[in-house]
Amino acid sequence: MNELKTSEAPSLMTDETFRLLRDFIYEHSGIYFSDAKKTQLENRLTLRLKATNLGDFDKYYYLLKYDPQADRELRCLFDSVTTNETSFFRSPPQIQSFQEKALPEIMARREEQGEKILRLWSAGCSTGDEPYTMGIVTKELLQERLAQWDVKIWGSDISEKALKSARAATYSEYTLRSVPPEIKKKYFIAERSQYRVVDEIRTLVELQCLNFNDSKRVRLMRGFDIIFCRNVLIYFDDAAKKRFVSQLYDNLNPGGYLFIGHSESLHNISRAFKLVHFPGALGYKKE
């Protein structure tokens, strides 16, 4: 393998190589790059060329495709092509709908059934801001009754790098910009210029690496009352969206809710859910 000198810029990505890399990424993750996103993919993979000492994108493709030890680079590839921008209490109207409508409804139904069991899933959890937000909201609703409930929140993501940050559960002031001061004081411990989520919330969350293209593993994620899958569908083409949303429907309990990104829609993707209008937000219910 030829080493790339630090002063040497990688060659430009040809249209043919773009299609090869795009198809490879789609095959292994469901993430789709349209022709209009060629420059975006090229920019994101340039750092991987430098990290692997490869001088052009053709060689990088062959590394991914044929190197018997390419699994490690595949994980780095997923880190590169996903955007892990998130924050606590992101999209407040959705969080408010979760806190004031969907979650109380689920809890009331569970109590009527005599089963104080709650299962939540942050699908595409990135650095953990979302599942920990779900944990804080759940704790705020249950207060001292939390100990009487069996609560588990799963957070999953394809990016190992993002999950490593999620497990550390330490965040910047900027990431907490939407957190009410009283919540910040109650559920975060200041450590120099960072803030760490308190153990009471961390223990509610279980984090795991999950590739949504792995249908067998996704099918094992059953029995959820509420799923947050926000700003994930934007990575998929229509075929992958339909396949994945159908799996999410199966992952939910009857009466469960799905929340997707405020700019996303299930229009022409699925008719299985009932659209629910919350104040300032939309939810999708499995009846």
DSSP line for 13-57: PPHHHHHHHHHHHHHHH-----GGGHHHHHHHHHHHHHHTT-SSH
- Is pTM beyond 0.85? Reply is yes
Which amino acid is residue 6, in one-letter code? T
Decide if 78 contacts 158 (C-beta within 8 A): yes
Q: Do domains 15-81 and 92-285 have the same CATH topology?
A: no
pLDDT tens over the chain, length 287 residues: 444 444 455 678 999 999 999 999 999 999 999 999 999 999 999 989 999 998 899 999 999 999 888 888 999 999 898 876 789 999 999 999 999 999 999 999 999 999 999 999 999 999 999 999 999 999 999 999 999 999 999 999 999 999 999 999 999 999 999 999 999 999 999 998 999 999 999 999 999 999 999 999 999 999 999 999 999 999 999 999 999 999 999 999 999 999 999 889 999 999 999 999 999 999 999 99
Decide if 33 contacts 39 (C-beta within 8 A): no
Task: Tell me what pLDDT residue 10 has.
Answer: 61
Task: Tell me what pLDDT residue 262 has.
Answer: 87
Query: How far is residue 23's CA from residue 29's CA, in Å, rounded to a whole number?
Result: 10
Domain boundaries, the chain: 15-81, 92-285
Query: How far is residue 279's CA from residue 265's CA, in Å, rounded to a whole number?
Result: 17
Compute the chain's Rg from CA coordinates. 21
For residue 188 the two structure tokens come to 């975060």
CATH architecture designation of domain 15-81: Orthogonal Bundle (1.10)
Which CATH code, of 3.40.50.150, 2.100.10.30, 1.10.10.10, 3.40.50.300, is assigned to 92-285? 3.40.50.150
